[in-house]
Structure 1
Amino acid sequence: MSDNKPFLQVRSEIGKLKAVMLHRPGKELERITPQYLHELLFDDIPWLKKMRNEHDGFADALRTNGCTVYYYEEMLEEILRDDKIKEQLVAEVLEKSNIANPDLEAQIKEFLMKKTSSEVAETLIAGLHKKDFQETIRDKRLVDYIKEEYPFYINPLPNLYFTRDPGAVIGNGLCINSMNTFARERETMILKYIYTFHSTFKKEVTPLWYDYHKKYSLEGGDILVLGENVVAIGCSERTSARGIEDVAANLFSQDEKVRQVLAVQIPFTRAYMHLDTVFTMVDHDKFTIYPGVEEKLRVFRLSPGKTHPKVEVLPDLQSALKETLNLSAIDLIQSGGGDEVTAAREQWNDSTNTLAIAPGVVITYDRNEASNETLRKHGIKVIEIEGSELVRGRGGPRCMSMPLVREDL
């Protein structure tokens, strides 16, 4: 591969998956306590040992099917071997951590700069607990007294194993997203450093479709690359209408292939969260969908305009998919076998959050038995992984993966 040839390549949801970015759950998950569950976007306390075993099974399934796995934490550690990059990133993380005491901030920076690149990478993900930093004598500020019961100087990032949300590859470019919640903002900051300084991303030939500094939220779980000419983006609890317009405008002006963006408005609730929690693509003309949600969706087509994307209201999701993908018919496969109770139970366990690794081949959680059987009845090959602990963060195989390279269809 020549130096001037882009590495990233994603022109569909279903092309054979060749390279993916994951984050293996780590110490950050053991820093979730009941009192901070809501703040850290969790509903329950996960068991890390089991979670890591399940995640390793997920990575093994990908490798077995010809996919190269890149780990977020390893790429971070590699760029931190450069002391200038380490100092710059540590300073930015501390600034965003709202320590609000310059003396303390300087002491923590000095403490971290003495650590190895591996130790700093772990701290930037797992956070810095107060017990891990031995304070020297200093004058206390008001903020020190106000925050004395809070356990962290740098917050942990327990949601990072959902690598789908901070970044999304479209074509040969990358969206480094603007997260809707403060708890996840540092994930995209770190991804920007990896994009900028890690050779794998080839920044010089890899355009940015979106940057986390933008104030309008956009998250990867809402972005589905339906084909080389069309992208669907959910307008959800986590992704804003303006964020969709801005990334569409960038694609239309800088990518020669994407000519349409389908904006799919879903109910703004945590149960639905992102578009890929209720709808994913599993084959050329097959999609899995949470039963009943189709009637609650609004679909808009964005296309190139003079000053901003033109917006057209479309009748419904099914007709929008057929028209934009040039299909005479599509198969909407209802999760849970279409049974209302089963579908609701399995949707809570991310039954529709399938990861296609090839046309008609998906990875799912084994616990969603009815949904998996329904997919098989519709001709889909289902590769099951265990996910009893992974699912506690409210995400499935698609959420846990950031595709970097897919074969063209």
Structure 2
Amino acid sequence: MPNAIHVFSEIGRLKQVMLHRPGRELENLVPDHLNRLLFDDIPFLEQARAEHDRFAEVLRQNDVEVLYLEDLAAESLTSPEIKQQFLKDYLAETTIQSPEIIKEVTDYFLSCDNDRELIDKTMAGLAKNELELPNTKSLAGTVDDQYPFLIDPMPNLYFTRDPFATIGNGVSLNRMYSETRRRETLYGKYIFAHHPMFQQNPPHMLYDRAQPTRIEGGDELVLSKHVLAIGISQRTDAASIEQLARKVFENEPSFEYVLAFDIGQERKFMHLDTVFTMVDHDKFTIHPEIEGELTVYSISRAGDGVTIKEEKDTLENILCRYLELNAVELIRCGGSDLIAAAREQWNDGSNTLTIAPGEVVVYDRNTITNQKLAEAGIKLHKISGSELVRGRGGPRCMSMPFVREDI
């Protein structure tokens, strides 16, 4: 039976992908607590859904099977015992400490008409006014009346790229940078452990969400069947990259090198894929602000361990050497205009989703970058992102490939 996960490049024709259609978690964003939930603004849910539906339709029109996180998670609750354990794990990762309140909330979720409704509600979060809390005089049961939520919403979930990453026939189930996003990976844990599509041939687990150091999928790029690129960033630690490299070398024999790109700790460059993506065999988007100062380390196999060295060369030469190319083309976000580059990078001009070699999905709003891509011979599928972009993510951020054709 073929592996349910098969991703050996960034550009092989995309055959199956997981998305999350924005839900009521976006309506649970409130101005006083945006920073806590990693948002700068509040998207308009109705329009965000329309934009996301168009994104999914573009993928389907190009023969990509679209799966949804919320459906897979619900289908993973395959027995009453698994459902109970999921809720126990879910509530353990909230701030609720009172046993009385935990019981009340558990009963609330179990009263849902079906598993999909239960999953939707766990993603949306739980406002205090949605159920009557038991009276308790214990300190643990006392909640701050000024904060509206008993359980925080998960508004970042439509960026399905981050909670885990697919690498070869394996999965990196990540430890997220922010506490508010760490709960998201619980859905992946249950999907890969219990969903029927992963039962006969489960993927290798290359990283575990319980690890102490952080890593996120936006920093994990599969450049070829031999080479990974991973960003050392605001969201991913160097220690996590080394640990992941060791597991990849142990479990995925085709991979020989991990290139660690040190892109700094700024939020505007939160992930490698916000400043660098692969769009064809020899073409890459890049944000010009990182180009001149980018430090790259190579990690390679060395017996049962690894060898790490700093690469002393230009990015073009490093890519040519490791990808065995004669030349590469770096397509600059915003072209040579630094103002345009800053604006369009903020609006995810560098964050393309490649659905086949030389064929990508982009936001239509990044007009200069899109023109540069077209001039480089890249076929563009443009989608509107006026609301989706408010979460600071683009088409790659919003998609988790499960299957790509080999190249």
Same fold (TM over 0.5): yes
Q: Aligned-pair RMSD on alpha carbons?
A: 1.3
Aligned to 1:399: 397
Structure 1 residue 7, shift from structure 2 partner: 1.4
Aligned to 1:408: 406
Q: Which amino acid aligns with 2:350?
A: T
1:14-93 aligned at under 5 Å gives the runs: 14-80=11-77, 82-93=79-90
Query: For structure 1, which runs of at least 5 residues remain unmatched after alignment?
Result: none
Q: Which amino acid aligns with 1:395?
A: G
Structure 1 residue 119, shift from structure 2 partner: 2.1
Q: Contact conserved, 1:280 with 1:289, CA < 8 A, in 2? A: yes
Instruction: Report Cα offsets for 1:42-70 as digits up to 9, x if no partner.
Output: 00011000000000000000000010000
Tell me which of 247, 259, 263 is aligned to 1:250: 247
Aligned to 2:232: 235
**Helix, strand or coil at the partner of 2:278:** strand
Instruction: Report Cα offsets for 1:289-330 as digits up to 9, x if no partner.
Output: 011311121101001134642101102322211110001110
Aligned to 1:383: 381
Q: Which amino acid aligns with 2:351?
A: N
1:155-304 aligned at under 5 Å gives the runs: 155-202=152-199, 204-304=201-301
**Structure-2 separation of matches of 1:290 and 1:274:** 12
Q: Which amino acid aligns with 2:220?
A: I
**Structure-2 separation of matches of 1:367 and 1:45:** 19
Q: Contact conserved, 1:364 with 1:397, CA < 8 A, in 2? A: yes
Q: TM-score, normalised by structure 2?
A: 0.97
**Structure-1 separation of matches of 2:77 and 2:4:** 22
**Structure-2 separation of matches of 1:94 and 1:213:** 16
**Helix, strand or coil at the partner of 1:147:** coil
Structure 1 residue 148, shift from structure 2 partner: 2.6
Aligned to 1:336: 334
Structure 1 residue 205, shift from structure 2 partner: 3.5
Q: Contact conserved, 1:196 with 1:203, CA < 8 A, in 2? A: no
Q: TM-score, normalised by structure 1?
A: 0.97
| Residues matched between the structures, number | 405
Q: Contact conserved, 2:76 with 2:196, CA < 8 A, in 1? A: no
Q: Contact conserved, 1:6 with 1:202, CA < 8 A, in 2? A: no
Instruction: Report Cα offsets for 1:158-200 as digits up to 9, x if no partner.
Output: 0000000011111111111110100101110121111111022
**Helix, strand or coil at the partner of 2:4:** coil
- The alignment-based identity, stated in percent, is 47
**Structure-2 separation of matches of 1:304 and 1:134:** 57
Q: Contact conserved, 1:249 with 1:309, CA < 8 A, in 2? A: yes
Q: Contact conserved, 1:75 with 1:198, CA < 8 A, in 2? A: yes
Say which is worse superposed, 300-309 or 244-253, in terms of deviation.
300-309
**Structure-1 separation of matches of 2:199 and 2:6:** 12
**Structure-2 separation of matches of 1:32 and 1:225:** 33
